[in-house]
Amino acid sequence: MLSATRSPISCSVALLACLATASTTRAQSDSLRTLTQRFTAYQQQTLQEKVYLHLDRPLYLSGEVLWFKVYATDGTYGKPLTMSKVVYVEVLDRNRQPVLQAKVPLKNATGQGSFQLPAGLNSGSYTVRAYTNWMKNFSPEFFFHAPVTIVNTLQASGAVSTLDTTAYDVQFFPEGGNLVQGVQSQVAFKVSNRTGQSVPVEGTVLDSQGQTQASFKTLKFGMGSFRFTPAATSPYTAVLKLPNGRLLTRKLPAAFAEGYVLHLTEPDAQRVRITVQAPGHNQETVYLLGHARQQLALATSAPIVNGQAEFVVDRKALADGISHFTLFNGRRQPVCERLYFRRPTEQLTIQTLPDKRQYASRSKVNLRLATATAAGQSLPASLSVAVYRADSLVAETGADIRSYLWLTSDLQGTIENPAYYFTSTEPETAAATDNLMLTHGWSRFRWEDVLRRQPPRLPYLPEVNGHLIRGRITQRQNNQPAPDITAYLTSPSRTVRLSNSISAADGTVLFETADFYGVRDVVVQTNTQRDSTYRVELDSPYSQAFATSMFTRPFTPYPRFKDEFTLRHLQNQVQTTYNRKFTSVFSQPATDTLAFFGKPDEKYWLDDYTRFKTLEEVLREYVPGVKVRLRKDGFHFNVLDNPNRTMFTDEPLVLLDGMPVFNTNKMMAYDPAKIKKLEVLDSRYFQGRALYNGIISFSTYKGNLDGFPLDARALVQEYDGLQRQREFYAPRYDTPEARQSRLPDLRNLVYWNPQVMTTPGQPAVLEFFTPDQPGQYRIVVQGLSTSGAAGSNTSMFDITPAQ
């Protein structure tokens, strides 16, 4: 019987082949593991945060109040995120200059605020943007942006656009990123005018000889795509025909001699196929990461064989919303990226049920709101409700929370009618959605930041407890940063509040504040008895970076809207005349009146004791916890160390209306008749990294230092704290006398309520009264559940003319 044998040479060759295969496999595995590890590490260190604002209307008159509700969510799952306690809201003009700014407090991931629009504000388009302190670590493209129109009806002609609206923006987007010579690619395009409005076109692609190589036509919203194979050398020109017959010529992106081309298709409803073509890169292993909002869903690799590699992805593995497919070459360099949209299945369904569809003027409207899942199961949610007159000036309802969280916030530029991609059942919806992904590709991060070994530097901390006031300490003589210097910030008042901060290497200081509302004076200083050569400056908390794609549409007063402008002008003037006193009523926020150091060990109301002429007599006579020492340089204080039954040898912290006083002689020279209360803490107190050997706190009757001479080196600055909540006013007509009132009621905004909560099985019931003006009125409701289900609903009712 013959037996098969191998020669030693053939066995060695086989062994070497096995070792080479194992080494290659191990290298591929290591590369994929490195990519996923660094991506995951970056995601964990850079939590994404989103904010959405429900604005009460898309159009306002100068002098009206703009109302809004803030929803704060995490950027991955869209669930309410309670990390930040402050959101910054701005109204920017077309030159990106802020005309209004506010710091709005957040509680349980929601907040509310308002702006009184100045009466002298020019007509035009403006942008409302919002962000948190944490969001300033990332691109301003991630900030919330919403366009609004403001009309000044006192201006005869309004503001006329100075933009060249006949100019057009034409952009071409090769799928994956680049054109490669000899490789067929899909090329998407987008056409808009200078006002940002989409323009339908049709056109052809010509080579250098004028021969047609491809033809194309917009499908929806000025977007479309075509297949095209660039030759080795020829430059290409696109000729576009506009609706008015005008022709435009634009150059296509240049094709590279070699590279990678990525193409995505959906062979069926369950799978997504990604094909990579890369002639000249045979046997190279490429890597594919699929991620949605920095959540990794896919990590795989494949070799390039005969110039091609293929990946098949199960759609169930992809998250709802936008997924990014990023292709890396063998050197772990990102070479292609493609976006894919999966319509979210989770939705907050809102039922808006007014008790009637028609109402007379000055009659009650009972509105029931119920929230549920898409399957009809009751789901509690936080809602905001706006009711306003739907005239011809307001053709749109503005942005909605669902399309913003799942689509708009993850794409670059302005998206025309984003709700279309969630609700449309048209046959071309899938192709239109794919064109949107091709023309608005955008990553929330740079791969250079993800792949580097060192974690990213994030200078802005989340405001988890309250507003952080940021400043900088420098040396007076040369303006260089001064590190390791303690600074103190206070706003003198009847409530004793004090913040301190030790400067970082670059001189930065951060002061955490609490219950800081409205415009107040702040005093910032170092210990002038020790650190007298330093200067403190406070920074603006508002971002100075702006989105590159941010633009506002110019406003032009069309003659056909003359009657509507006249009516809105009359409404505004009547409301301003008769209801001015109601538009500036603010609720008082609940604040903690206890001093920052808590309950004192000793408290003295000086009116309860003999009034002495000097503060030295007051302290010596009936304040046993404080000893007054007189030395060569003047007065000094020592406080009782009560736990150890001895006296502290170092000076205590001395406060006047919450402001540190480092010159004891100045304090002792102060008139005690102005002091209402004296408190003593006779133990050590730690505040941050600062240690106080007891605290002596003096409070004046007025809470404003009452003439105490400030140190010339202290910074005194007016500072705008958190916005106080304006109360929405609407008249009630639930009595015969009120209904018969001769005061006209021409409100455009009938009702605004940003604090509506629904509970399981229990709809929210709201009531309001209709105004005098007949017409059609729009009810807009938006909301978010604790599970991250977002939704909106719009309904209408009529107010009939009086018979």
Q: How confident is the model at residue 392 (pLDDT cuts 50, 70, 90)?
A: low
Q: Provide the residue range defining the domain that includes 203.
A: 168-256
* Same domain, yes or no: 702 and 624: yes
What is the tally of structural domains in the chain?
3
pLDDT at residue 760 in the model: 86
Residue at a domain's end among 518, 538, 558? 538
What integer pLDDT is reported at residue 585 of this predicted model?
A: 84
Q: Say yes or no to pLDDT of 335 above 80.
A: yes
Identify whether residues 611 and 521 lie together within a single domain.
no
**Does residue 32 fall inside a structural domain?**
no
Residue 610 lies in a domain: yes
Rounded mean pLDDT, 737-762: 92
Q: What's the whole-number mean pLDDT along residues 465-478?
A: 95
Please give the structure tokens belonging to residue 345.
């299945």
- Cα distances (angstroms) measured from residue 514 to each of 489, 498, 563: 12, 9, 49
Of 492, 512, 538, the residue that ends a domain is 538
**Cα 781 to Cα 423, 424, 434, 756, distances in angstroms:** 17, 20, 29, 10
Across the chain, mean pLDDT equals 88
Bridge partner list, 648: none
Cβ contacts of 537 within 8 Å, gap of 6 or more: 471, 472, 474, 715
CA distances from residue 402 to 183, 405, 540, 559, 605 in whole angstroms, order as listed: 39, 5, 32, 35, 57
Task: Region of 43 please: left (phi>0), alpha (psi -120 to 50) or beta.
Answer: alpha
- Rounded average pLDDT over 9-32: 47
> Whole-angstrom Cα distance, residue 665 to residue 648?
19
172 and 189 in contact (C-beta within 8 Å)?
yes
Q: What's the burial of 665, exposed, middle or buried (CB within 10 Å: 0-12/13-18/19+)?
A: exposed
Report the candidate in 128, 99, 647 with the shortest Cα–Cα distance to residue 404: 128
For 247-260, what is the mean pLDDT?
93
pLDDT at 152: 86
Structure-token match 């590190």, residue found: 483
SS (H, E, C) 176-242: CCCEECCCCEEEEEEEEECCCCECCCEEEEECCCCCEEEEEECCECCEEEEEECCCCCCCCEEEEEC
b/e code 251-272 from CB counts within 10 Å (16+ = b)? ebbebeeebbbbbbeeeeeeeb
What confidence tens digit (pLDDT) does each residue in 638-655 have? 999 988 889 999 999 999
Question: Which CATH number is 659's domain given?
Answer: 2.170.130.10
pLDDT on residue 560: 57
Q: Are residues 533 and 610 in the same domain?
A: no
Question: Tens of pLDDT along 509-550?
Answer: 999 998 899 999 999 999 988 877 899 999 999 999 998 866
Tell whether 49 is covered by a domain: no
Contact 195, 203 (CB under 8 A): no
In a domain, 587, yes or no: no
Report the C-alpha gap between 28 and 274 in whole angstroms: 19
- CA-CA distances (angstroms) from residue 471 to 428, 461, 507, 541? 54, 14, 8, 10
C-alpha 279: how far from chain center = 44
Hey, which residues does 223 pair with through a beta bridge? Answer: 190, 220
Task: Return the C-alpha torsion angle 409, 414, 419, 420, nearest 10.
Answer: -130
**Domain contains 187:** yes
Q: Write 564-567 long-range contacts (CB < 8 A, 24+).
A: 564/391, 564/392, 564/393, 565/151, 565/153, 565/393, 567/391, 567/773
User: Does residue 343 have a pLDDT over 60?
Assistant: yes
**Which CATH number do you get for residue 215?**
2.60.40.1930
Specify the higher pLDDT residue, 768 or 26: 768
Higher pLDDT, 432 or 45: 432
183-215 confidence digits (pLDDT tens): 999 999 999 987 778 999 999 999 988 899 999
**684 in any annotated domain:** yes
Q: What is the mean pLDDT of residues 411-428?
A: 89
Q: How many CB atoms lie within 10 A of CB 613?
A: 10
Phi first, then psi, for residue 665 (nearest 5°) are: -65, -40
Is 93 contained in some domain?
Answer: no
| Model confidence pLDDT, tens digit, residues 65-90 | 999 999 999 998 899 999 999 999 99
**What's the first-to-final CA gap in the chain, in angstroms?**
115
Point out the domain boundary residue: 205, 229, 256: 256
Q: What integer pLDDT is reported at residue 162 of this predicted model?
A: 41
The average pLDDT across 593-608 equals: 94
Confidence of residue 7 (pLDDT cuts 50, 70, 90): very low
